[in-house]
């Protein structure tokens, strides 16, 4: 049986790479059992539904479930590529961790000079039983890419991002060493692979706009995936990083536009913000935003999604989903009507900065 014809979603150029990506991408973090155990068949069906719905970008990371997300994404890609060319899709993954399937101790013996340490995976409740090895070295980067290709069954990757070189992950005492390691190791490896045409685009995937800005000044990057720091709830990237990205023609991919869920669920009991239960101040601000949306009969999630696409530096939103219905709902959200008065009212209430760009209409 042939697959459904994809919806024609808007596309934007990924900086200067020659790649065009849909304004919505599929983020594979939930496939690594983020917050809850996900049925195998459902996880694969969610990825297939994304491509069947017109999305052409899949973003993964070895970190998501210690390789589990990449394994599940690989199974979905095998189904998708039965009726679609490899050139019609854009696959992104990340480096900074590789995984040791052998007993503890072997990983350190293989690379004793890198100063490896294990970092917790907040939110992941199930994963492959492999030991994560933090490694931003040149050789560690190549090993990570090789493992990603094996897990997915692919022979090439389109985008490769240096993952989690930020204070949130490593702490203030270790960040300088990690940044130096990443620039001397991972960046050199990825730059070489880009020069050789092995990958089309290189960048970083981080939780902090300040670190994105620092990398943008330090190297020649094509794209950056920033999670959670430019959303309807908060816009710390607005002042300097996003203008710098425009200046340098760095395509910005946004993750976490629902801030780990609260902008999708609203300020309900158990709502999450940055992978944790939302604090009272965040709950109150989201409730106030939601109240303005309600006055205009607009779903909070629709406003959050369309707002994030309103900045000219933003190329695509990488959204996680756990079921085909969630994927279809995200796609439908692009076309939800939102009156311009909503954005004006949010500014009037002090819930958006006066200078923040807002959408002129559906993406």
Which residues are marked as active site? 59, 64, 94
CB neighbours of 87 closer than 8 A, spacing ≥ 6?
A: none
d(CA 126, CA 32): 7
d(CA 195, CA 199): 8
d(CA 319, CA 326): 10
Q: Rounded to the nearest 5°, which phi and psi values hold at 52?
A: -65, -25
Within 13 A of 111's CA, how many CA atoms are on the CB side? 20
Within 13 A of 11's CA, how many CA atoms are on the CB side? 16
Chain position carrying tokens 């990443």: 182
Strand, helix or coil for residue 50: helix
d(CA 39, CA 224): 31
> Residue 64 class from Cβ within 10 Å (0-12 exposed, 13-18 middle, 19+ buried)?
buried
d(CA 239, CA 329): 31
Q: For residue 134, is it left (φ>0), alpha (ψ between -120 and 50) or beta?
A: beta
Q: Rounded to the nearest 5°, which phi and psi values hold at 259?
A: 50, 55
d(CA 330, CA 53): 10
Q: Which helix (H) or strand (E) holds 40?
A: helix 40-52
Torsion of Cα atoms, 249 then 255 then 257 then 263, to 10°: 180
């Amino acid at each position: 049986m042939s697959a459904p014809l994809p919806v024609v979603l808007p596309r934007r150029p990924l900086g200067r790479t020659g790649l065009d990506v849909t304004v919505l991408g599929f983020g594979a973090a939930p496939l690594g059992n983020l917050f809850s155990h996900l049925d195998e068949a459902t996880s694969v069906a969610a990825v297939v539904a994304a491509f069947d719905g017109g999305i052409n970008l899949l973003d993964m990371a070895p970190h998501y479930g210690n390789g589990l997300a990449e394994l599940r994404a690989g199974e979905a890609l095998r189904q998708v590529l039965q009726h679609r060319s490899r050139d019609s899709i854009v696959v992104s993954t990340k480096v900074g961790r590789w995984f040791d399937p052998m007993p503890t101790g072997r990983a350190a013996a293989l690379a004793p000079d890198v100063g490896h340490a294990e970092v917790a995976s907040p939110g992941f409740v199930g994963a492959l039983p492999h030991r994560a090895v933090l490694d931003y070295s040149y050789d560690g980067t190549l090993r990570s890419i090789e493992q990603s290709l094996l897990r997915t069954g692919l022979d090439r990757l389109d985008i490769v991002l240096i993952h989690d070189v930020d204070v949130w992950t490593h702490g203030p005492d270790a960040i300088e060493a990690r940044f130096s390691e990443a620039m001397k190791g991972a960046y050199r490896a990825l730059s070489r692979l880009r020069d050789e045409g092995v990958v089309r685009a290189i960048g970083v995937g981080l939780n902090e706009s300040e670190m994105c800005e620092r990398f943008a000044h330090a190297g020649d990057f094509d794209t950056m995936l920033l999670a959670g720091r430019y959303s309807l709830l908060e816009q710390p990237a607005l002042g300097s990083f996003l203008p710098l990205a425009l200046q340098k023609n760095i395509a910005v991919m946004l993750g976490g536009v629902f801030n780990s869920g609260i902008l999708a669920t609203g300020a309900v009991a158990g709502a999450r913000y940055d992978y944790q239960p939302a604090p009272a101040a965040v709950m109150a601000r989201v409730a106030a935003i939601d109240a303005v949306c309600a006055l205009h009969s607009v779903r909070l999630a629709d406003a959050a999604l369309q707002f994030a696409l309103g900045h000219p530096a933003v190329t695509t939103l990488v959204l996680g989903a756990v079921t085909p219905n969630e994927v279809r709902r995200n796609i439908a959200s692009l076309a939800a009507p939102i009156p311009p008065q909503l954005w004006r009212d949010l500014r009037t209430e002090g819930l958006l900065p006066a200078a923040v760009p807002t959408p002129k209409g559906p993406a």
